[in-house]
Structure 1
Amino acid sequence: MRQYTEIRSNEELDQMMNQPLSVVYISREGCSVCHALLPKIQQIMEEYPEVEFGHILADEYEEVAGKLSIFTVPVVMIFSEGKELLRDARFIRVEEFRESLNKMTALLEQ
């Protein structure tokens, strides 16, 4: 499974968001859905080694809720050069996420 960068500060988040293409997964400790979904997202991310991949544990980095307007978990977000391209929360459809990521990586390669 693809490893991720643990994000714990605004500076680390800004650095991740400003990459050519990055995925950020946000979860909480006591969220069973979050824990079940993370390995599926990691598996998809193995197909995209060129895309930066970060994880935020909202229990440890509480300011993330305000910074990104997070109201529920899990959340998966795709960023490119500081801009949010996709946000999917709560009921994340893994195949739709893969398709979106596929389209975005194809656009960057052009």
Structure 2
Amino acid sequence: MKNLNSINDIKDFIKENKFVMLYFSSDGCNVCNDILPRLKELLKKHSKVVSGHVEVQNIPSVASVFAVFTIPTIIIYLEEKEIVKQSRYINFLELKEKIQRFSEFV
């Protein structure tokens, strides 16, 4: 999971990769810290997904640019189009199913 440190880094990352998952979190968020290892484990099984990690406290404008109003938030892009967004409660079963379904298009 690549750490992304600016709005331009995030936009370039989405543009340069076909199938992208962004994970928005904060250091002070215990739920975010608990989810991160589970998310990394899920991504090991889906090599087509390129993932990025955004620490929202480091990029204050990220909330308005990507409509991230609560954390944790996961946004998945396919060919630069947002196709999945989950915030606060991350349903891993649903997330896994969506990743598998959209992997067929990559």
- TM, length-normalised to structure 2: 0.94
Aligned pair 1:54/2:49, yes or no? Answer: no
Aligned counterparts of 2:84 and 2:37: Cα–Cα separation in 1: 20
Q: Is the contact between residue 79 and residue 85 of structure 1 (CA under 8 Å) also seen in structure 2?
A: yes
The 4+ residue runs of structure 1 with deviation greater than 2 A are none
- Computed over aligned residues only, the root mean square deviation of the Cα atoms, in angstroms, reads 0.9
Match of 1:92 among 83, 90, 93: 90
- TM, length-normalised to structure 1: 0.90
Aligned length: 105
Aligned counterparts of 1:25 and 1:76: Cα–Cα separation in 2: 5
Aligned counterparts of 2:88 and 2:64: Cα–Cα separation in 1: 17
Q: Match of 1:54, SS? A: strand
Q: Which residue of 2 aligns with 1:16?
A: 13
Aligned counterparts of 2:28 and 2:70: Cα–Cα separation in 1: 13
- Percentage of matched positions with identical amino acids: 24
Q: Where does the alignment leave 5 or more consecutive residues of structure 2 unmatched?
A: none
